[in-house]
Amino acid sequence: MQTSYMERVHKWGKIWCFSMCAVFFLFPIAVAVIFRAAPDWQGLVQGLIATAPMYWAVGIIETFTYLPMLGAGGSYLSFVTGNISNLKLPCALNALEQAGVKANSEEGEVVSTIAIAVSSIVTTVIVILGVILIVPLTPILNAPVLQPAFEQIIPALFGGLGVVFVSKYWKIAVAPIVLMLVLFIAIPALNAGTVGIMVPVSAAFTLGVSRLMYKKGMLD
């Protein structure tokens, strides 16, 4: 019997995810074996107790947040290659928008996966070129006149996508925009480094508010 597309997606997605987990663990193990430097187990446990719960929570939230938007294949590929919120998610959403398909449809599943795959390939090529050209380009990249432009890359990326979706679903967009403005103004400690946490929080908040507005007939 021919294996369905989704069965193959889940099969290979699990294989790659578990393989990447193994690779992550093999590096510190290899370093410890080669240099005969065993870790400080007490310090390791204390560090995990302090940090692991936060990453577990973020990981669970991101799974439920990104999966409906990226599809199964796109989610597996995104979690293996990384940089979801800054790169993979915008690419997938833009591709779905251009193709005019929903993320939870069969067509959307294929479009999202292809978009993320192409994004991963392009990212890899750019990284390779960056490694090769980093020395000759360093004086140019460090020029003070270019620094303001580099600081606005992510806002410009999300701003371009935001205009499209906010204009279509402006009622839904009001609540998360107000929430994020209040949080980032009231809590200056929140910055670009907290994107991995704030994106899932904003998505969960938006889903809750959207559900409430739908029940009250405010989205008609």
In a domain, 150, yes or no: yes
Cα gap 15→78, rounded to integer Å = 14
User: 3-class SS at 151?
Assistant: helix
Instruction: Provide, rounded to the nearest whole percent, the portion of the chain with pLDDT above 70.
Output: 94
What is the average pLDDT across 2-30?
86
User: Cα torsion for 202, 205, 210, 212, to the nearest 10°?
Assistant: -170
In a domain, 108, yes or no: yes
Cα gap 208→36, rounded to integer Å = 51
Range of the domain at 93: 5-168
In a domain, 91, yes or no: yes
- Give every CB contact of residue 216 below 8 A, 6+ residues apart in sequence: none
In a domain, 116, yes or no: yes
Q: What is the pLDDT of residue 2?
A: 42
Q: What is the pLDDT of residue 121?
A: 92
What is the average pLDDT across 142-167?
77
pLDDT in tens, 23-68: 888 988 898 889 988 888 888 888 888 777 777 777 777 777 788 8
In a domain, 196, yes or no: no
For 74-96, the DSSP string reads HHHHHHHH--IIIIIHHHHHHHH
How many domains would you assign to the chain?
A: 1
Q: What is the DSSP letter of 105?
A: S
In a domain, 191, yes or no: no
In a domain, 213, yes or no: no
CB 205, CB 180: distance < 8 Å: no
pLDDT in tens, 70-111: 888 888 998 888 888 778 888 888 888 888 888 778 888 889
For 13-47, the DSSP string reads HHHHHHHHHHHHHHHHHHHHHHTT----HHHHHHH
- Answer whether residue 3 shows pLDDT above 70: no
In a domain, 209, yes or no: no
pLDDT band at 195 (very low <50, low <70, confident <90, very high): low
